[in-house]
Amino acid sequence: MLILTRRVGETLVIGDAIEVTVLGVKGNQVRLGIKAPKDVTVHREEVYQRIHGETVHHDTDGSGDGG
């Protein structure tokens, strides 16, 4: 897992077409703005799990290979 630090108003760029901007931080919540092409779906993890009826496994060892 790549870990990056951003301040409010700063943006991450993923590939050529996806931008994630930190809109605000309040307590332990972070507001993100996501700009992506219409063919890219974006869901909160709990919504994604409900849609797909599965548990998403997190990369816990940092190797990036999911295990």
pLDDT in tens, 4-59: 999 999 999 999 999 999 999 999 999 999 999 999 999 999 999 999 987 656 55
Residue 29, H or E segment: strand 29-35
Indicate the pLDDT class of residue 65, thresholds 50, 70 and 90: low
DSSP-H helix ranges across the chain: 45-52
pLDDT given at position 53:
87
Which pTM was predicted?
0.72
